[in-house]
């Protein structure tokens, strides 16, 4: 069904397509998929797409959309054409990601101790010590194995054959890994032959690796097999499905704040047999809400005294509180320096050029070039509070300029990237759509990068916003083995 | 297992069972409403239907006119009515969602797809023609859920909390239906020849899907004495009080054994089951049918309460 | 001077509830004070969890066993003090001084505080801080009733009246607005009248040469040997000697009694 000519004219901007070269020949790792796509009928694909949608709906893989009052559960669209990454590309990404997460963990350890990087003048003190994502309460504490961010989702975009950039380091509570796993299950169910023709690196060990990682950072005083639990804000959270899914796959309890008590110097969950000890808590609740005694007193989601227990080394919180400072958008611009400072190496993965509105000359540049830039709020997430220059109206740009002038420290700007495209099924046929990639990294007794990740795709033709809250979908990501 | 998980499993099963029972009551109410009463009207008795469903006071508190349309809407779709079928299915599903890890995929899919499909129904589109079909569908889905549970759920604590939810709710439902109509089941009705009450007995049996079973079991015409015995004391009848208690007591026993706790719920449950096993209809009638049913309802609720305390539901 | 302290905090409620409390009730020995003896007793809750927080405070976490209607916490001990003109120096602790430039909701300076602070700028940090101290002591009267535990520095400054917590918050806001790290300190004060008072609070600010120096804007002076320093934090909420959460319905009443007296061996202040 795939007409190469039609496929490429669908591409409104000149950007790198991961399947087809400008001469319409398929890149090596996409050859099998490309040939397969040419043999498919539109009706056949449509039927498979309907089948995939039915599977996801039945499984209850839905997410809540903020701001939608009623019927607040929606499926994240799933696009059934896989994204393919060659073994060599993956080796490069894996090395780059590992280097980056090691450096960021070292950075966290440093800024919560002597702050050598600040003393060395490599990063402004105010940016760290005055940052709302920095938790002074964490200073002087040594988390087990010195690990702060154990579970990381690094957002990577591609602009050309060798052009991989890190767009965001998510070191707080990154989500999406359940989609990676369910997408894979679904693809294996729908297209067994295509899958078998590809030697795809497996991702299904992730839950087991996650459990190992969590157990490896149990408090030093814990004897026997460490008891792990996943802490969720509850069924109305947008990622609740994922919390339940991960707990289930790991074979551990999924708890809410009300299930937990701090008593006798330990954390317990309330079970039908009375209380049971918890050693490691994989918390999917933001820092501010984990403990009303130490942080937001109005939080109903957390456990009073939990942070005190953590600081006393009686329970491990994963990720550690205060990791947000390392993925703060204002700190992002310094990550290449951070990598060099702690590893003594050049960064393998590049940063996207970033203008800090807090700095006068950079702000001047941003205000003059709003039409070309993407402006982001330093503390925003999920694609909210963002200006995409080339797609903005004059009014929107004027509003943003005013907001930047009023609170410059709250904004950064980046060039609009020509994100790479991948083939996607777009209702009537197959066309190129912009994608990004979130591989998932685990840091415990060692660093583990699962081969694959979550590919997010902007399903609207020409759109660059891949966030699920803004009409993006997901794809299975196939990392090929040699 | 978390206390909250146990609570959610219990209430998930209760709400699913309640949805099924409401569907059955609404069907009977609908059926009665199209049978002529011999006096130029119809036998319509929505008041009794709502009373059997345990929601008459709530309906009356609204001061709305009681007719087929308002009663059916109240029973099926009303979002403000805590025990409408809609809310039961949503509550069952949300309780299941909160303990997704304790359910099997089959159970979750039955629960989730039922709620999704029911929520998509526009009440205005459901005319009298589709009503019966819709209620049948609710009962089928409840059956599918129970089938998935029996066929796929590990026989650990979770299973027993589900069983307890199902049978405590079912016993409550059957006892309530009998309680509302206890007067037509008193022996004096048969002595009076009772042709006029024939349809009442029929309605009671239909409310628990037992017309065919009754005829098959007794090979007799409808007699109030046998109807009462069938629904209260027969171990063969799957919605009788005796039958329910024969499942409640062993599940309480299994939980007590597995957890080393649960003493007070087990004591209440096994006493009630033992009493039902050793009594007979004459004894109940001597004591007073109404009194017996009221006592049963209270003790059944007490088991539910003791369960919550014994197993740290909150 | 040898100072004996008895500090009792009691919580009572009609309906039982679970209670969790973090206590910062143990002073540490540092320049100007040596803790001779100290103990904390808690009725109605159990502990067993101690750690040192980022500000060097000894924290003890208490939790009741199930619902309770009353928790009584008593801290008692004797501290030997010496007048250092408020200088605390560089006690070992994890926070770097730059952290104490952070603003919290309670210590955010407004234009009025910034304007007054700006007039206090002098040659050295120490001189600047003394100017702030004098300025605030003159500008904000001591008085109860107008402010509460959640009153911000800006609101108290606008009211021109407050208690020691407010003076400390305003001082901290002013110092930070001048780029000088400052923090909140709780403790006890042996008053001239030797009357029992509720525990006291003041501020500490960082000077390059002397390290941390205490400033008591409520009394217009630097702490002397009549002060016992308990705990430090970014603001009153963080440094609170007892911070608690009650899990349950109903309301509770709180009563705090502090007795500070010079030990028998130092009878002159007993009057």
The pLDDT score that the predictor gives to residue A428 is: 72
Domain end marker among A415, A433, A464 = A415
Q: pLDDT-based confidence at C249, cuts 50/70/90? A: low
Q: In the predicted model, what is the mean pLDDT of chain B? A: 91
Q: Is B130 on the interface with A (CB under 8 A)?
A: no
Domain end marker among A374, A396, A415 = A415
Tell me how far apart the alpha carbons of residues A264 and B192 are, in angstroms, rounded to a whole number: 71
Chain A residues in contact with C52 by the CB 8 A cut-off are: 140
Cβ within 8 Å, pair A136-C95? yes
Q: Identify the residue among A227, A272, A274, A278 best suited for mutation to test binding to B, counting B beta carbons within 10 A and taking the highest.
A: A272
Whether the per-residue pLDDT at A353 is higher than 70: the answer is: yes
Cβ within 8 Å, pair B109-A59? yes
Name the residue in chain A with its Cα closest to that of C242: A293
Cβ within 8 Å, pair A269-B2? yes
| Nearest-CB residue to A136 (from C48, C54, C245) | C54
Q: Is C31 exposed, middle or buried (0-12, 13-18, 19+ CB in 10 A)?
A: middle
- What is the tens place of the pLDDT at every residue in A450-463? 999 999 999 888 78
Is the distance from CB of C69 to CB of C11 less than 8 angstroms? no
Q: pLDDT-based confidence at A258, cuts 50/70/90? A: very high
Report, as an integer, the average pLDDT of A316-323.
97
Q: pLDDT-based confidence at A54, cuts 50/70/90? A: confident
Minimal Cα–Cα distance from C269 to chain A, Å?
A: 39
Is chain B touching chain A, with at least 3 CB–CB pairs below 8 Å?
Answer: yes
Q: Is C46 on the interface with A (CB under 8 A)?
A: yes
The pLDDT score that the predictor gives to residue A13 is: 54
The pLDDT score that the predictor gives to residue C267 is: 36
Residues in chain A: 482
| Nearest-CB residue to A139 (from C20, C51, C95) | C95
Cβ within 8 Å, pair B6-A269? no
Chain B residues in contact with A244 by the CB 8 A cut-off are: 97, 100-101
- What is the tens place of the pLDDT at every residue in C94-107? 999 999 999 999 99
Contacts 24+ apart (CB under 8 A), A250-255: A250/A207, A250/A208, A250/A210, A250/A211, A250/A214, A251/A211, A252/A211, A252/A227, A252/A228, A253/A229, A253/B2, A253/B5, A253/B101, A254/A229, A254/A230, A254/B99, A254/B100, A254/B101, A255/A229, A255/A230, A255/A231, A255/B2
The pLDDT score that the predictor gives to residue C86 is: 95
Q: Is B122 on the interface with A (CB under 8 A)?
A: no
How far is C-alpha A389 from the chain's CA centre?
24
Both tokens assigned to B312: 């740290």
Minimal Cα–Cα distance from A91 to chain B, Å?
A: 35
The pLDDT score that the predictor gives to residue C64 is: 85
Q: In the predicted model, what is the mean pLDDT of chain C? A: 89
**Triad A100, A295, A287: Cα angle to 5°:** 25
**Residue environment code for B25-47, b if the CB has 16+ CB neighbours within 10 A, otherwise e:** bbbbbbebbeeeeeeeeebbbbe
Coil/strand/helix, residue B133 = helix
Q: Is C63 on the interface with A (CB under 8 A)?
A: yes
Cβ within 8 Å, pair B94-A272? no
Q: pLDDT-based confidence at C180, cuts 50/70/90? A: very high
The pLDDT score that the predictor gives to residue A8 is: 61
Range of A382's domain?
A: 353-415
Residue A376 lies in a domain: yes
Residue that the structure tokens 């009442």 belong to: B200
Report the range of poorest mean pLDDT among A189-193, A393-397, B37-41. B37-41
Q: Which residues, in sequence order, are CB contacts of B73 under 8 Å at separation 6+?
A: B123
Whether the per-residue pLDDT at B44 is higher than 90: the answer is: no
H or E segment and range at residue B183:
none
Whether the per-residue pLDDT at B43 is higher than 90: the answer is: no
* Complex ipTM over 0.85: yes
**Triad B40, B43, B45: Cα angle to 5°:** 140
Which of A210-214, B40-44, B68-72 holds the top average pLDDT? A210-214
Cβ within 8 Å, pair C51-A292? no
Tell me how far apart the alpha carbons of residues B309 and B262 are, in angstroms, rounded to a whole number: 9
A294 and A364, same domain (yes or no):
no
The pLDDT score that the predictor gives to residue B189 is: 74
CATH number for the region C2-264 comes to: 3.10.620.30
Whether the per-residue pLDDT at A63 is higher than 50: the answer is: no
| Nearest-CB residue to A248 (from B5, B100, B157) | B100
Cβ within 8 Å, pair C93-A140? yes
Percent of chain B at pLDDT exceeding 90: 65
Tell me how far apart the alpha carbons of residues B64 and B146 are, in angstroms, rounded to a whole number: 35
β-bridge mates for residue A227, sequence order: none
- In angstroms, the Cα distances linking A458 to A4, A64, A84, A169, A431 are 20, 19, 17, 20, 12
Report, as an integer, the average pLDDT of C221-244.
94
H or E segment and range at residue C230:
strand C227-233
The pLDDT score that the predictor gives to residue A9 is: 47
Q: pLDDT-based confidence at C271, cuts 50/70/90? A: very low
The pLDDT score that the predictor gives to residue A52 is: 86
Coil/strand/helix, residue B312 = coil
The pLDDT score that the predictor gives to residue C266 is: 39
The CA-based diameter of chain A, rounded to the nearest angstrom, is 70
Whether the per-residue pLDDT at A121 is higher than 80: the answer is: yes
Tell me how far apart the alpha carbons of residues B145 and B123 are, in angstroms, rounded to a whole number: 24
The pLDDT score that the predictor gives to residue A42 is: 81
Chain A residues in contact with C93 by the CB 8 A cut-off are: 140
Whether the per-residue pLDDT at B88 is higher than 80: the answer is: yes
The pLDDT score that the predictor gives to residue C250 is: 63
Residue that the structure tokens 């197993």 belong to: B311
Q: Which residues, in sequence order, are CB contacts of A368 under 8 Å at separation 6+?
A: none
Cβ within 8 Å, pair A304-C20? yes
Tell me how far apart the alpha carbons of residues C183 and A197 are, in angstroms, rounded to a whole number: 65
- In angstroms, the Cα distances linking A60 to A53, A239, B119, C266 are 11, 12, 14, 74
Q: Which residues, in sequence order, are CB contacts of B268 under 8 Å at separation 6+?
A: B299, B302, B303, B306
Is the distance from CB of A309 to CB of C261 less than 8 angstroms? no
Domain end marker among A263, A293, A314 = A314
The pLDDT score that the predictor gives to residue A73 is: 55
Q: Is A12 on the interface with C (CB under 8 A)?
A: no
The pLDDT score that the predictor gives to residue A377 is: 87
Name the residue in chain A with its Cα closest to that of C50: A312
Q: Is B79 on the interface with A (CB under 8 A)?
A: no
Number of H helices, E strands in chain C: 5, 14
Cβ within 8 Å, pair B3-A247? no
A interface residues, B as partner, C-beta within 8 Å: 57-60, 71, 234-235, 240-241, 244-245, 247-248, 253-256, 258-259, 269-274
Q: Is C92 exposed, middle or buried (0-12, 13-18, 19+ CB in 10 A)?
A: exposed
In total, how many domains does chain A have? 2
Whether the per-residue pLDDT at C251 is higher than 80: the answer is: no
Name the residue in chain A with its Cα closest to that of B310: A272
Chain B residues in contact with A271 by the CB 8 A cut-off are: 1-3, 312
The DSSP result for A320-338, as a single string, is: PTTGGGGG-HHHHTTHHHH
The pLDDT score that the predictor gives to residue C54 is: 97
Number of H helices, E strands in chain A: 15, 23
List A residues 320-339 in contact with C (Cβ-Cβ < 8 A). Answer: none
**DSSP label at residue A132:** T
Is the distance from CB of B16 to CB of B146 less than 8 angstroms? yes
Residue that the structure tokens 């059926």 belong to: B31
Q: Is A75 on the interface with C (CB under 8 A)?
A: no
- What is the tens place of the pLDDT at every residue in B117-151? 999 898 888 877 788 899 999 999 999 999 999 99
Report, as an integer, the average pLDDT of A74-102.
93
- What is the tens place of the pLDDT at every residue in C184-223? 999 999 887 665 555 899 999 999 999 999 999 999 999 9
Cβ within 8 Å, pair A270-B101? no
Residues in chain B: 314
Report the range of poorest mean pLDDT among A227-241, C123-137, C174-188, C193-207. C193-207
Minimal Cα–Cα distance from C50 to chain A, Å?
A: 7
Q: Count how many Cα atoms sit within 13 Å of the Cα of residue A131 in the half-sphere of its side chain.
A: 25
Whether the per-residue pLDDT at A62 is higher than 60: the answer is: no
- What is the tens place of the pLDDT at every residue in A281-292? 999 999 999 999
CATH code where residue A399 lies: 3.30.1490.270
**Triad A461, A89, A93: Cα angle to 5°:** 95
Cβ within 8 Å, pair C49-A314? yes
| Nearest-CB residue to B4 (from A256, A273, A274) | A256
Minimal Cα–Cα distance from A314 to chain B, Å?
A: 21
Whether the per-residue pLDDT at A68 is higher than 90: the answer is: no
Name the residue in chain B with its Cα closest to that of A70: B119
Name chain A's partners: 3 or more CB pairs within 8 A.
Answer: B, C
Tell me how far apart the alpha carbons of residues B6 and B161 are, in angstroms, rounded to a whole number: 6
Report, as an integer, the average pLDDT of A359-375.
92
Q: pLDDT-based confidence at B156, cuts 50/70/90? A: very high
Domain residue spans of chain B: 1-153, 155-314
Whether the per-residue pLDDT at B302 is higher than 80: the answer is: yes
The pLDDT score that the predictor gives to residue C1 is: 87
Residue A285 lies in a domain: yes
Is the distance from CB of C217 to CB of C133 less than 8 angstroms? yes
Domain residue spans of chain C: 2-264
Tell me how far apart the alpha carbons of residues A261 and A274 are, in angstroms, rounded to a whole number: 11
The pLDDT score that the predictor gives to residue A66 is: 35
H or E segment and range at residue C225:
none
Q: pLDDT-based confidence at A466, cuts 50/70/90? A: confident
Q: Is B112 on the interface with A (CB under 8 A)?
A: yes
The CA-based diameter of chain B, rounded to the nearest angstrom, is 63
- What is the tens place of the pLDDT at every residue in B244-292? 999 999 999 999 999 999 999 999 999 999 999 999 999 999 999 999 9
Cβ within 8 Å, pair A308-C98? no
- The residue among B163, B185, B161 whose CA lies nearest residue B233 is B185
Q: Is C102 on the interface with A (CB under 8 A)?
A: yes
Coil/strand/helix, residue B53 = coil
Q: In the predicted model, what is the mean pLDDT of chain A? A: 89
- What is the tens place of the pLDDT at every residue in C20-54? 999 999 999 999 999 999 999 998 888 778 999 99
Whether the per-residue pLDDT at A369 is higher than 70: the answer is: yes
Tell me how far apart the alpha carbons of residues B6 and B261 are, in angstroms, rounded to a whole number: 14
Q: Identify the residue among C99, C105, C237, C242 best suited for mutation to test binding to A, counting A beta carbons within 10 A and taking the highest.
A: C99
């Amino acid at each position: 069904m795939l007409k190469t000519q039609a496929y490429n004219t669908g591409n409104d901007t000149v950007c790198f397509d991961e399947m087809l070269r400008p001469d319409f020949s398929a890149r090596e790792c996409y050859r099998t998929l490309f040939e397969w796509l040419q043999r498919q009928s539109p009706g056949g694909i449509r039927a498979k797409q309907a089948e995939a949608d039915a599977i996801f709906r039945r499984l209850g893989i839905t997410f809540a959309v903020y701001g939608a009052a009623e019927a607040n559960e929606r499926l994240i669209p799933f696009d059934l054409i896989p994204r393919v990454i060659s073994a060599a590309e993956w080796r490069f990404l894996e090395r780059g990601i590992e280097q980056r997460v090691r450096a960021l963990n070292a950075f966290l350890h440093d800024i919560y101790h002597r702050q050598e990087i600040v003393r060395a003048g490599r990063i402004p003190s105010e940016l760290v010590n005055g940052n709302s994502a920095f938790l002074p309460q964490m200073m002087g504490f040594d988390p087990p194995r010195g690990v702060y961010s154990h579970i990381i989702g690094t957002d990577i975009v591609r602009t050309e054959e060798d052009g991989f950039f890190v767009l965001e380091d998510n070191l707080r509570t990154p989500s999406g890994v359940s989609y990676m796993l369910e997408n894979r299950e679904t693809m294996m169910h729908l297209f067994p032959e295509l899958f078998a023709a590809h030697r795809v690196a497996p991702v299904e060990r992730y839950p087991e690796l996650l459990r190992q990682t969590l157990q490896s950072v149990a408090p030093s005083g814990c004897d026997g097999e460490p008891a792990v639990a996943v802490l969720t804000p509850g069924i109305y959270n947008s990622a609740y499905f994922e919390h339940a899914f991960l707990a289930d796959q790991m074979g551990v309890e999924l708890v809410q704040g009300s299930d937990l008590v701090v008593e006798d110097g330990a954390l317990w969950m309330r079970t039908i047999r009375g209380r049971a000890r918890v050693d490691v808590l994989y918390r999917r609740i933001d820092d501010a809400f984990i403990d009303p005694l130490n942080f937001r007193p109005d939080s109903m989601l957390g456990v009073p005294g939990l942070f005190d227990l953590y600081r006393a080394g009686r329970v491990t919180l994963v990720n550690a509180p205060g990791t947000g400072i390392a993925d703060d958008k204002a700190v992002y611009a310094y990550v290449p320096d951070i990598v060099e400072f702690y590893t003594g190496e050049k960064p393998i993965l590049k940063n996207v050029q970033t203008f800090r509105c807090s700095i006068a000359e950079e702000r001047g540049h941003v205000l003059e070039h709003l039409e070309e830039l993407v402006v982001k709020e330093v503390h925003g997430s999920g694609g909210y509070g963002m200006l995409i220059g080339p797609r903005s109206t004059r009014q929107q740009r004027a509003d943003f300029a005013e907001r930047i002038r009023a609170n410059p420290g709250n904004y950064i700007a980046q060039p609009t990237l020509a994100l790479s495209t991948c083939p996607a099924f777009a209702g009537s046929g197959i066309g190129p759509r912009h994608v990004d990639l979130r591989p998932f990294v685990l840091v415990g007794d060692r660093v583990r990068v699962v081969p694959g990740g979550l590919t997010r795709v902007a399903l609207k033709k020409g759109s660059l916003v891949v966030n699920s809250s803004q009409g993006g979908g997901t794809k299975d990501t196939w990392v090929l083995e040699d | 297992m978390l206390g909250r998980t146990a609570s959610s499993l219990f209430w998930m099963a209760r709400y699913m069972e309640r949805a099924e029972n409401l569907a059955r009551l609404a069907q009977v109410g609908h059926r009665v409403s199209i049978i002529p009463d011999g006096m130029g009207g119809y036998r319509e008795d929505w008041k009794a239907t709502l009373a059997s469903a345990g929601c008459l006071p709530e309906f009356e508190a609204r001061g709305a006119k009681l007719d087929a349309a308002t009663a059916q809407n109240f029973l099926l779709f009303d979002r403000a009515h805590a025990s409408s079928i809609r809310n039961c299915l949503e509550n069952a599903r949300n309780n299941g969602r909160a303990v997704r890890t304790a359910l099997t995929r089959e159970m979750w899919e039955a629960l989730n797809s039922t709620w999704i499909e029911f929520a998509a129904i526009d009440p205005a589109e459901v005319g009298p023609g589709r009503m019966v079909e819709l209620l049948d569908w609710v009962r089928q889905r409840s059956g599918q859920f129970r089938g998935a549970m029996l066929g796929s759920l590990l026989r650990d604590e979770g299973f027993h909390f589900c069983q307890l939810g199902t049978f405590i709710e079912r016993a409550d439902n059957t006892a309530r239906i009998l309680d509302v109509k206890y007067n037509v089941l008193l022996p004096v009705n048969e002595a009076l020849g009772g042709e006029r009450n024939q349809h009442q007995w029929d309605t009671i049996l239909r409310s628990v899907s037992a017309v065919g079973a009754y005829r098959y079991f007794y090979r007799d015409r409808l007699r109030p004495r046998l109807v009462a015995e069938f629904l209260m004391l027969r171990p063969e009848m799957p919605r009788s009080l005796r039958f329910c208690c024969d499942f409640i007591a062993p599940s309480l026993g299994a939980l007590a054994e597995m957890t080393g706790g649960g003493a007070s719920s087990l004591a209440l449950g096994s006493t009630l089951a033992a009493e039902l096993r050793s009594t007979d209809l004459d004894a109940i009638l001597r004591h007073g049918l109404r009194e017996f049913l009221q006592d049963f309802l209270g003790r059944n609720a007490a088991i539910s309460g003791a369960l919550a305390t014994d197993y740290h539901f909150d | 001077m040898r100072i004996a302290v008895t500090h009792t905090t009691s919580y009572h409620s009609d309906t039982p509830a679970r209670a969790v409390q973090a206590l910062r009730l143990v002073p540490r020995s540092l320049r100007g004070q040596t803790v001779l003896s100290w103990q904390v007793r808690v009725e109605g809750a159990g502990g067993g969890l101690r750690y040192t927080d980022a500000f060097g405070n000894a924290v003890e976490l208490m939790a009741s066993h199930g619902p309770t209607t009353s928790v009584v916490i008593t801290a008692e001990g004797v501290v030997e003090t010496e007048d250092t003109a408020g200088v605390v120096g560089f006690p070992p602790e994890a926070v770097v001084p730059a952290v104490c430039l952070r603003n919290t909701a309670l210590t955010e300076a407004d234009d009025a505080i910034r304007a007054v602070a700006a007039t206090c700028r002098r040659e050295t940090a120490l001189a600047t801080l003394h100017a702030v101290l004098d300025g605030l002591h003159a500008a904000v009267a001591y008085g109860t009733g107008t402010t509460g535990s959640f009153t911000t520095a800006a609101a108290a400054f606008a009211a021109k009246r407050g208690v020691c917590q407010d003076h400390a918050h305003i001082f901290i806001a002013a110092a930070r607005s001048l780029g000088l790290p400052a923090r909140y300190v709780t403790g006890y004060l042996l008053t001239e009248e030797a009357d029992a008072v509720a525990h006291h609070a003041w501020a500490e600010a960082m000077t390059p040469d002397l390290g941390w120096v205490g400033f008591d804007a409520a009394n217009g002076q630097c702490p002397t040997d009549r002060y016992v320093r308990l705990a430090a934090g970014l603001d009153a909420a963080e440094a609170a000697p007892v911070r608690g959460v009650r899990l349950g319905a109903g309301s509770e009443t709180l009563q705090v009694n502090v007795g500070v007296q010079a030990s028998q061996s130092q009878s002159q202040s007993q009057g």
